[in-house]
Structure 1
Amino acid sequence: MAVLPLRDRAGNVLLAVRPLAERELPSLPAALVVAVHAGAVLMMLDRRRRQWELPGGVREPGETCREAAVRELAEETGIHGVALTFAAVAEFALAEPARRESLAVYRTELATAPRLTLSDEGLGFRWWPPGDPVDADMSPLDAELAARVATT
């Protein structure tokens, strides 16, 4: 695992990954999902940023972080009906616009490889083993989150 803080090429910084009881989870703006199968983590190629990232996204009005994680996983990958475990809160210093933001991170262990469905947000999928190098086209921040959460 990398030493934090960790910076990406856009100037975003992963400041901390904190374990927390889900009942203590504050209202956060977004959630990510670390989906693990056979020791590898599902990454999707984001159409807008053109980099490999974890599935997830912004919470809609009235949603909990867990509901956002379930919805985003289904919308972005076609994965439905899997159990999610709350894993951590990830704290970031984001560059554009400059702000501090924390996200809820969930984990799911998939016994079988799911049938994946691309959304209009993604260009592809890959299973990334957390021990492998982080390619230049992969978000180092998401890769670090994946590595930390996949092994818990």
Structure 2
Amino acid sequence: MAGLPLRDRAGNVLLAVRQVTESDLTRLATAIPVSASLVVAVHAGAVLMMFDRRRRQWELPGGMREAGESSRRAAARELAEETGIHGVELTFAVVAEFALTRPARRELLAVYRTDLPAAPWLSLSEEGLGFRWWSPGEAVGPDTSPLDAEIAARVLAAA
């Protein structure tokens, strides 16, 4: 695992990855918004990554919460929309703190994990160009989000 803080090519910084309870998200959100959720989908020790059409990099499925939506619901919705994976059990794993650019802001992301007993049938959305299974033992290539790879590695190591 890499040391934190960790910066990506756009200047976004992963500041911390903390193990808290899911119920702590409400308290944490009073200081820094919990604006999005990510999912670490695991099969046979590898993590599902999707190639984001806009950012042109491999990253974890996930995205922004909609108005009135819980972090858990956002994680399930984004996973389904971006991969076609529905109805899986999500376990709250960690909260990740970021300093983001464009616009400059601090955000927390709720990170969930799902363990898939079999490789799922995956379907692309308009956001993605492809899927791959990445093992945390592999090097992080220049076309992979180092921030998402670090989050995935830490979630797997904590299990």
TM-score in terms of structure 1 length: 0.98
| 1:4 lines up with 2:8 in the alignment | no
Give 3-state SS (helix, strand or coil) of 2:23's partner: helix
Give structure 2 stretches of 5+ with no counterpart.
none
Partner of 1:110: 116
Structure 1 residue corresponding to 2:50, chosen from 44, 48, 52? 44
- Measured in 2, the distance between the counterparts of 1:131 and 1:71 equals 29
TM-score, L = length of structure 2: 0.94
Gaps of 5+ in 1: none
AA aligned to 1:82 is V
Partner of 1:73: helix, strand, or coil?
helix
1:80-121 CA-to-partner distances (Å, cap 9, x unmatched) read: 010000001000001211111110000000000000000000
Confirm or deny that 1:22 pairs with 2:22. yes
Q: In 2, Cα distance between the equivalents of 1:47 and 1:6? A: 23
- 2:63 aligned residue: 57
For 2:23, the aligned partner's letter is: R
Per-residue CA shift, 1:46-69, capped at 9, x if unaligned?
Answer: 000000000000001111000000
What SS does structure 2 have at the residue aligned with 1:25? helix
CA distance in 2, matches of 1:132, 1:71: 29
Counterpart residue number, 1:69: 75
How far 1:132 sits from its partner (Å)? Answer: 0.3
CA distance in 1, matches of 2:100, 2:22: 24
For the residues of structure 1 that align with 2:100 and 2:23, how far apart are their CA atoms?
A: 26
Write the distance in 2 (CA, Å) between the matches of 1:6 and 1:30: 19
Deviation of 1:25 after TM superposition, in Å, equals: 1.2
Letter in structure 1 aligned against 2:144: M
Partner SS, residue 111 of structure 2: strand
Equivalent AA in structure 2 for residue 6 of structure 1: L
**Counterpart amino acid of 2:9?**
R
How many residues were matched structurally? 152
Identity of aligned residues (%): 74
- 2:148 corresponding residue in structure 1: 142
Following the alignment from structure 1 to structure 2, what is the Cα–Cα distance between the partners of residues 24 and 16?
A: 16
